[in-house]
Amino acid sequence: MKSDLVKVLHPVLGLPMLSYTIDLSLSGIEAEKTIVVVGYQADQIRERFEDLKIEFALQEEQLGTGHAVLQAMPLLHGCTGTILILCGDVPLVKAETLRSFIHTFSRNDSTLAVLTAAVKDPSGYGRILRGEEGWLGKIVEEKDALEEERPIREINTGIYCVRAPFLKEGLKEIGKENAQGEYYLTDLVEVARKRGLRCSAHMVPDPAEVMGINTRVDLAAADEVLRQEKIKELMLSGVTVVDPKNTYVEKRVEVGKDTIIYPYCVLQGKTKIGERCIIEPNSKISDTEIGNGVTIRSHSVITESRIEDGAIIAPFSHLRPLSEVKGGGIF
């Protein structure tokens, strides 16, 4: 990312990237326990999510994905069920995709399963090698792949379902005899196969769901996907967005029905807009509560304010934090 900020705290549609993964665990699949493995800038991550019902495991040295999961094992003492392993830099995965993945994993009676995707350019990703009957045979990291394995387009997303008892024992057998000198979580597949245990691979329908974010270019692409979803959600709930391509609405923003949002508006943070409002072009509204029937004239900037029902905000207005406009008033 070429940044002083740890990658998973970079914002995607107004929320830290990691918050999407955490929300999938807490609300999407309602996991019994959620553990976040932290390393670089661990204190900043803990502070950002301290109010949530999650636990943290510290990976002091970054020695690979297998090593990362190993740090969480003391917090999973007594767990005998299924462990779902997610990535903090893959924010577009949908809850229904994970629920289907977990269901199929259980139905197939697998010991380990990986979520995969078929992509046009597999560069940088681990390749999926399947056996004759389609079961997962091996995951090969690109730097360790043979020439004939590199053209394979089915790739590892880094998302796994694993039986807890096997995970606890299998991690002990992972070595670091590879090009990176790291403990690969992918080596669990080989450990399982040696024991005669079944491993499976489940392909996600839309590869965009499992795109990992490694650069600012990736960050912008993910932001755009979520922006489009948010705009569509608003329009289907009764909001008129005059120009969806040129309107920016962050994840937590709420807008009531019959409100009209004109082009080049930016709505941020915990902004809540009532019904039958008009938000004219080039307005920027952040963390503000707006009542019903309010008109915001063009080129206004409103931050951390409260506007009551029926008020009119004149063009080029600047409402600074803690401003209040009474009902029916004109600012």
* Average pLDDT of the chain, as a whole number: 95
Q: What is the pLDDT of residues 8-43, one digit of tens each?
A: 999 999 999 999 999 999 999 999 999 999 999 999
Q: What is the pLDDT of residue 182?
A: 85
CA angle 302, 308, 314 (to 5 degrees): 50
Average pLDDT over residues 79-107: 96
44 & 168 share domain: yes
Residue 280: how many CB atoms within 10 A of its CB?
19
Does residue 224 lie within any of the structural domains?
no
Residue 331 near residue 312 (C-beta atoms within 8 A):
yes
172 & 39 share domain: yes
Q: What is the pLDDT of residue 14?
A: 98
Strand 324-325 relative to strand 289-290: parallel, antiparallel, unpaired? unpaired
Instruction: Label residue 277 by pLDDT band (50, 70, 90).
Output: very high
**Residue 138: its H or E element:** strand 136-140
Residue 176: how many CB atoms within 10 A of its CB?
14
202 & 261 share domain: no
187 & 246 share domain: no
DSSP secondary structure string, 198-264? Answer: -EEEEE-S-GGGG----SHHHHHHHHHHHHHHHHHHHHHTT-EES-GGG-EE-TT-EE-TT-EE-TT
Overall pTM surpassing 0.75 (yes/no): yes
171 & 274 share domain: no
- Phi, psi at 39, each rounded to 5°: -145, -90
Average pLDDT over residues 290-298: 98
Q: Which amino acid is at 154?
A: E
Q: What is the pLDDT of residue 80?
A: 93
Does residue 331 lie within any of the structural domains?
no
Q: Residue 220 burial by CB count (10 A; 0-12/13-18/19+): exposed, middle or buried?
A: exposed
17 & 124 share domain: yes
**Residue 190: its H or E element:** helix 188-194
Average pLDDT over residues 288-313: 98
Q: What is the CATH number of the domain that holds 302?
A: 2.160.10.10
Does residue 2 lie within any of the structural domains?
no
Total domains, the chain: 2
DSSP secondary structure string, 254-274? Answer: EE-TT-EE-TT-EEETT-EE-
Q: Tell me which residue range forms the domain holding 27.
A: 7-210
Q: State the DSSP code for 24.
A: I
What would the two tokens of residue 174 be?
A: 């992972």
Please name which of 269, 268, 298 lies closest in space to residue 281, comparing C-alpha atoms.
298
Instruction: List for the chain the helix, strand, coil content (%; round to 5).
Output: 30, 25, 45
Q: What is the pLDDT of residues 203-254, one digit of tens each?
A: 999 999 999 999 999 999 999 999 999 999 999 999 999 999 999 999 999 9
Q: What is the pLDDT of residue 330?
A: 81
Please name which of 62, 32, 30, 69 lies closest in space to residue 167, comparing C-alpha atoms.
69
